[in-house]
Amino acid sequence: MARPARLSGAGGRATILDVAAAAGVSRQTVTRAVNDLPGISVATRQRVLAAAEALDYRPSRFGRGLVSGGAHQLGLLVDDLRNPYSPELAASVLRLAAARGWTVVLADVGLTGDSDRSVQDLGAQSDVVIGYLGARAPEWLERLGSVPVVELDPAGPALRGAVRLDPSEAVETLADHLVTVGVKHPLVLDAPSAAVGAGQPSARGQLLLDALRRRGYLPRHVLAGAASADAGAAGTSAALAAHRRVDAVLAFNDVMALGALAACRRAGVDVPERVRVVGIDGLTLGTLVAPTLTTLAVDLDEVARHAVDLALGMLDGSLPRSGDAVQRVVRHRLLVRESA
Amino acid sequence: MARPARLSGAGGRATILDVAAAAGVSRQTVTRAVNDLPGISVATRQRVLAAAEALDYRPSRFGRGLVSGGAHQLGLLVDDLRNPYSPELAASVLRLAAARGWTVVLADVGLTGDSDRSVQDLGAQSDVVIGYLGARAPEWLERLGSVPVVELDPAGPALRGAVRLDPSEAVETLADHLVTVGVKHPLVLDAPSAAVGAGQPSARGQLLLDALRRRGYLPRHVLAGAASADAGAAGTSAALAAHRRVDAVLAFNDVMALGALAACRRAGVDVPERVRVVGIDGLTLGTLVAPTLTTLAVDLDEVARHAVDLALGMLDGSLPRSGDAVQRVVRHRLLVRESA
DNA sequence: CTGAAAGCGCTTACAG
DNA sequence: CTGAAAGCGCTTACAG
């Protein structure tokens, strides 16, 4: 099905003028036919539509957007869709965006080889960007260009808008809970963090350790090789073998906690009877396993709501592009399920 | 931080002419400064950038795209990001798209209230659309407009390009496997399907039942209330209680199989010792639980590769917009892990 | 180093 | 019912 020869558009694509010529009408009439506008005879409309079809005509979104404004496009930057955290957040953002009639461009910096390019393209296609920048925030903000940005869970000081996650209160509640249920020898199953020195506890890990120590515990600290289920399982297996008295595993996140759960099962260690397991994040995933996972949950709907709110304000100029006025905090809270 | 008063752009947004006026230069000079082009003095560049900053100038992606073509934008339509199947597919598509320098607009019809609108907006913003249309394919193709479409796992006959999933061979392999390991009383844990009558087995379910019967089994068929983990767990619990001899649960998908796994654990039924559990899809999720999930896996990277391939061909005119030339088939294959 | 001209593809008034 | 004109915001030659 080769295309007719002479087309004016770039890339050999037909433009409205090609259709007009083929149908023997003006471009305005093509617009009327293609956009279902009134003021055109049935016969003409049919002739135009036939010509459009034959030329495989598709209106340029740029031409259209230029004149009619076009829908807002929200850029969403996630770290790795294969990690269940990202899609849950994306789902929340998508829902809010769709409710406003915005479209969402998605870029994944954990997935693509050339993440710099992805970030740059995202900035070019978006009216506003929401997402995780992590340790490379300064560099990537540069690449995003001049769009307003709402950073989620920023690793450092907030350079633009920001929604911060704060687990500190929930960590205290969790520590109290562990005391109450009689835990004696807790273990913090930590993940490496780019923000601290190698071998050091992550910010979350430190929070957990401090809360436990304040209650008289002498918590063990295990630094897994990565924030993955496999690494969580390996770390747990080793720790259970080396320290028989461990009776609670507090993981850096839910995915690692799932690994801990699997390791316990393989070691024939009952959860929560002999060892309690706790994650952080509150992923739906934690409700699909048995025992269901106790976790410090963050309400991603709330995170998304704040982020979109801030983005909106920055976009319409009612909020500045950085500073305290574009900062929000969302606190984790303890979700006691079966595993602890 | 209120904006300066008189701005020519729509929505009060500054245009290149506003910046030019503020900096006392021509629009070409603004382009040079903003796009880091050569042929501009340092002093002028700084003055222009300052003016741009002060006016909160952001170049219109429409204006830019119109003249320089702009990156291709791929529309991806998923059903529900909260279902782990969607993000795994999205991850594969995103990776391929990014490698080509395309951006991806994502719409989720299972999530948004006004899915019709989402579909329509997606069509308007995309050069090509890949995705699940399900039972509403005819209607939604209409809404997508004239963009090329590659439908994934179409429910009916392919109306445009299509990547079909074919579990039939893997189902036979699975049935043989069950015979080999000594399963006697298998149960098909099915999900409701819009394509068949209420209470009827889904296409997948029928495939499983047929393969089992051909091997002399008298398989039970349980239709869960939904294709969810909870429904899978409920269906499994009820079946285990009613039919003590059931020694294998073949679920409609992995998520339901996870529910079956949880139900077995709660009932104190060992997997795979007493009951074997099998899912369909091959989600990563199945490797995070213990026992790991045996499943009929479909390679989503392969699905994505075919889909992007077809999309590309339809876009550049080397492939027609529908018909056998734009159909691909991806087969499931049995992935034996711990649960069966 | 800087600016005047042309044009990307479309839609929105307006005139016939 | 149909078409000539103007303009959306930008960049790419080209001229000075």
Q: Kindly state whether residues A185 and A291 are assigned to the same domain.
A: yes
Q: Which of A153-167, A298-312, B86-100, B189-203 has the lowest mean pLDDT?
A: B189-203
Residue A3 inside a domain? The answer is no
Interface probe, candidates A3, A88, A289, chain B, greatest B C-beta count within 10 A: A289
Q: Kindly state whether residues A110 and A21 are assigned to the same domain.
A: no
| Other C-beta atoms lying within 10 Å of the C-beta of residue B114 | 13
Q: Kindly state whether residues A162 and A305 are assigned to the same domain.
A: yes
B41 touches strand C (CB under 7 A): yes
Q: Kindly state whether residues A308 and A283 are assigned to the same domain.
A: no
Per the DSSP assignment, residues forming a β-bridge with B102 are none
Residue B29 inside a domain? The answer is yes
Rounded to a whole number, what is the distance in angstroms from the first to the last CA of chain A? 63
**In the sheet that B333-335 helps form, which strands lie side by side, from edge to edge?**
B220-223, B186-190, B248-251, B276-281, B294-297, B333-335
Give me the mean pLDDT over the A4-25 stretch: 77
pLDDT at site B70: 78
* pLDDT-derived band at B30, boundaries 50, 70, 90: very high
Residue B336 inside a domain? The answer is no
Distance from CA(A62) to C1'(D10), angstroms, rounded: 11
Domain that holds residue A111: 73-166+300-330
Distance from CA(B313) to C1'(D5), angstroms, rounded: 39
Residue A128 inside a domain? The answer is yes
B66 touches strand D (CB under 7 A): yes
End residue of a domain, out of B27, B51, B67: B67
Which CATH number does the domain housing residue A120 bear? Answer: 3.40.50.2300
Residue B63 inside a domain? The answer is yes
Interface probe, candidates B62, B236, B287, chain A, greatest A C-beta count within 10 A: B62
Q: Kindly state whether residues A288 and A172 are assigned to the same domain.
A: yes
Q: Kindly state whether residues B143 and B120 are assigned to the same domain.
A: yes
Q: Kindly state whether residues B308 and B286 are assigned to the same domain.
A: no
pLDDT at site B146: 85
How do residues B309-336 score in pLDDT, each as one tens digit?
A: 999 999 888 898 888 889 999 999 999 9
What is the DSSP track for A33-79? HHTT-SSS-HHHHHHHHHHHHHHT----HHHHHHHH----EEEEEES
The helix-helix angle for B254-266 and B229-242 (nearest 10°) equals 50
Q: Kindly state whether residues B132 and B181 are assigned to the same domain.
A: no
Q: Kindly state whether residues A159 and A305 are assigned to the same domain.
A: yes
End residue of a domain, out of A49, A67, A85: A67
Residue B265 inside a domain? The answer is yes
Gap between the Cα atoms of A14 and A9, Å rounded: 5
Give me the mean pLDDT over the A137-162 stretch: 91
Residue A338 inside a domain? The answer is no
Q: Kindly state whether residues B105 and B157 are assigned to the same domain.
A: yes
Question: Closest chain A residue to B11 measured between Cα atoms?
Answer: A316
> Two tokens at A136?
């490379």
Gap between the Cα atoms of A131 and A117, Å rounded: 16
Distance from CA(A45) to C1'(D5), angstroms, rounded: 23
Helices (H), B223-316: 229-242, 254-266, 285-288, 300-316
Distance from the Cα of residue B154 to its chain's centroid: 13
DSSP A326: G
Residue whose pair of structure tokens reads 């009383």 in the numeric block: B185
Question: What percentage of chain A carries pLDDT values higher than 90?
Answer: 77
Q: Kindly state whether residues B21 and B85 are assigned to the same domain.
A: no
Which CATH number does the domain housing residue B38 bear? Answer: 1.10.260.40
A41 touches strand C (CB under 7 A): no
Distance from CA(A49) to C1'(D5), angstroms, rounded: 25
How do residues A104-116 score in pLDDT, each as one tens digit?
A: 999 999 887 888 9
Question: Which chain B residues are within 8 Å of A285, Cβ to Cβ?
Answer: 84, 285, 288
Residue A210 inside a domain? The answer is yes
Buried b (16+ CB within 10 A) or exposed e, B66-77: beeebbbbbbbb
Q: Kindly state whether residues A293 and A304 are assigned to the same domain.
A: no
Tell me the nt nearest to A26, Cα to C1'. Answer: D3
CA distance B88 to chain A (A): 6
Number of domain units in chain B: 3
